[in-house]
Amino acid sequence: MRYLIAILGVLVVFGLTYAVSSHRRNIRYRPLFFMFVLQALLAFALLHTVVGELLIGGFASIFEKLLSYAGEGVNFVFGGLVNQGQMTFFLSVLLPIIFISALIGILQYTMILPFIIKYIGLVLSKINGMGKLESYNAVASAILGQSEVFISVKKQIGLLPKHRLYTLCASAMSTVSMSIVGAYMQMINPKFVVTALVLNLFGGFIVASIINPYTVSREEDILVVQDEEKQSFFEMLGEYIMDGFKVAVIVAAMLVGFVALIALINGIFTGIFGISFQVFLGYLCAPFAFVMGVPWREAVEAGSIMATKMVSNEFVAMLDLGKHTALSARTIGIVSVFLVSFANFSSIGIIAGAVKGLHEKQGNVVARFGLKLLYGATMVSVLSATVAGLFL
């Protein structure tokens, strides 16, 4: 039964993406099939083999160690509050983002990250049948983040046609920044974070290849990566530390605002209709949770968490997931994989704003296809969760 539901879930994703495809005749099915098989094999390897368990354990232990180092800095400044158990989420989950951001800056400065991103992207371009730029952007998005990634390819932003720009933005929304992966790992099981990172990378290509199919000619298939502005080591380090701090504070502000607004809307809905707004959304999203592999008896709860992520952000939804202790381990795993992406309404503004800051005209183009962008990124999350559900 599990496999039949998974097949149904994959067919639903393909059907819904095919329905909004801009050029159905241009869809290339061979790369699609190959990427889907590869995605399934990777999910099996990560969730169902000893090798995958060791890889995930190693990745998680690295972040655990890094977070312990980050904790030294947090304790030095906020030690009294930490010892009293106050502000624990902000201090233990969000502030370590500063340290991870600093490490990313060092890896960028020493040219280690650009080398890794570029050559992984080149390998991926051979697999997915898309351009070098699209493949580079997908890998870079998973490390640098959905707004910072566009800076590295800003020389080409103004030259891109609408269809290629869509793919770049869809990749950015379907992945997450490496600087906040450690924060996720403190809220949900690290193995689901790692699995989602890998599956979303290929899922983004699959969905984009259906919604927005095209072929990149040899003349167009170029990659021009913007070099970092020349700075001294400590100038760079200070900049990345401040960037990490800004991210931590912005996430904290978003959580305060969204959690409070959802509580207000829940109260209004409960007073008028007798059910909360989240439960109402849960009923709407329950069919999607079911085809992802969630048992029907838990589909409304799971759907509520999924909807919370879309209307607010993944942090709010992960906090909400932690409150649903009665959910089965399988459901928690499937929903966790779904939550690890930037697919929410606020990301439309973030991505459009990032592109507009580099090229105003292209920023307006992104804003116009913003809802289609969110639609595609959400389908990526559904596909990844469905494939992961096969092996949970």
**Residue range 20-45, pLDDT digits in tens:** 998 888 888 888 888 899 999 999 99
Query: Is residue 130 scored above 80 in pLDDT?
Result: no
Two tokens, residue 191: 């193995």
Cβ pair 342, 173 in contact under 8 A: yes
pLDDT band for position 370 (50/70/90)?
confident
Please state, for a pLDDT cut of 70, what percent of the chain lies above it.
94
Q: From CA 105, how far away is CA 229, in angstroms rounded?
A: 12
Cβ pair 316, 259 in contact under 8 A: yes
Two tokens, residue 215: 């072929």
Q: Give the number of C-alpha atoms closer than 13 A to the C-alpha of residue 224, restricted to the C-beta side.
A: 8
Q: In this predicted structure, what is the pLDDT of residue 330?
A: 93
Alpha-carbon distances of 16 from 62, 84, 162, 284, rounded to whole Å: 38, 50, 21, 16
**Residues 6 or more apart whose Cβ sits within 8 Å of residue 249:** none
Query: Is residue 221 scored above 70 in pLDDT?
Result: no
State mean pLDDT over 2-18: 91
Q: In this predicted structure, what is the pLDDT of residue 317?
A: 92
pLDDT band for position 249 (50/70/90)?
confident
Within the chain, residue ranges assigned H as helices are 2-19, 29-48, 50-83, 88-89, 96-109, 112-128, 132-144, 149-152, 154-157, 162-174, 181-185, 190-211, 233-273, 277-291, 296-311, 314-323, 329-339, 345-358, 360-368, 370-389
Query: Is residue 153 scored above 80 in pLDDT?
Result: no
Q: From CA 336, how far away is CA 318, in angstroms rounded?
A: 8
Top pLDDT among 179 and 384 is at 384
Two tokens, residue 20: 């909004």
pTM score above 0.85: yes
Q: In this predicted structure, what is the pLDDT of residue 226?
A: 59
Provide the angle, in degrees to the nearest 10, between the axes of the packed helices 329-339 and 314-323: 170
Q: In this predicted structure, what is the pLDDT of residue 82?
A: 52
Q: In this predicted structure, what is the pLDDT of residue 344?
A: 87
Q: In this predicted structure, what is the pLDDT of residue 289?
A: 94
State mean pLDDT over 163-185: 86
Q: Provide the 8-state DSSP code for 40.
A: H
* Among 376, 385, 347, CA closest to 176: 347
Q: Which of 101-105, 144-148, 331-335 is predicted with the least confidence, judged by mean pLDDT?
A: 144-148
Q: In this predicted structure, what is the pLDDT of residue 225?
A: 64
pLDDT band for position 276 (50/70/90)?
confident
State mean pLDDT over 106-125: 80
Q: Which of 60-69, 79-88, 180-189 is predicted with the least confidence, judged by mean pLDDT?
A: 79-88
Two tokens, residue 60: 């998680």
Q: In this predicted structure, what is the pLDDT of residue 16?
A: 94
* Among 201, 227, 211, CA closest to 137: 201
Q: Which of 94-103, 136-145, 366-375 is predicted with the least confidence, judged by mean pLDDT?
A: 136-145
3-class SS at 223?
Answer: coil
Instruction: Say how far residue 148 (Cα) sits from the centre of its chain.
Output: 14
Q: In this predicted structure, what is the pLDDT of residue 103?
A: 87
Q: In this predicted structure, what is the pLDDT of residue 340?
A: 93
**How confident is the prediction for the chain on average, in pLDDT?**
85
Query: Is residue 333 scored above 90 in pLDDT?
Result: yes
Two tokens, residue 183: 């924060």
Q: In this predicted structure, what is the pLDDT of residue 81?
A: 59
Q: In this predicted structure, what is the pLDDT of residue 189?
A: 92
Top pLDDT among 14 and 229 is at 14
Q: Which of 202-211, 246-255, 376-385 is predicted with the least confidence, judged by mean pLDDT?
A: 246-255
State mean pLDDT over 261-269: 89
Provide the angle, in degrees to the nearest 10, between the axes of the packed helices 190-211 and 112-128: 50
Per-residue pLDDT tens digits for 294-308: 999 999 999 999 999
Calculate ∠ Cα 314-196-164, nearest 5°.
Answer: 85
Residue with tokens 């959304």: 281
Per-residue pLDDT tens digits for 100-115: 888 888 888 888 887 8
Query: Is residue 87 scored above 60 in pLDDT?
Result: no
State mean pLDDT over 345-352: 84
Q: From CA 15, how far away is CA 362, in angstroms rounded?
A: 29
Query: Is residue 328 scored above 90 in pLDDT?
Result: yes
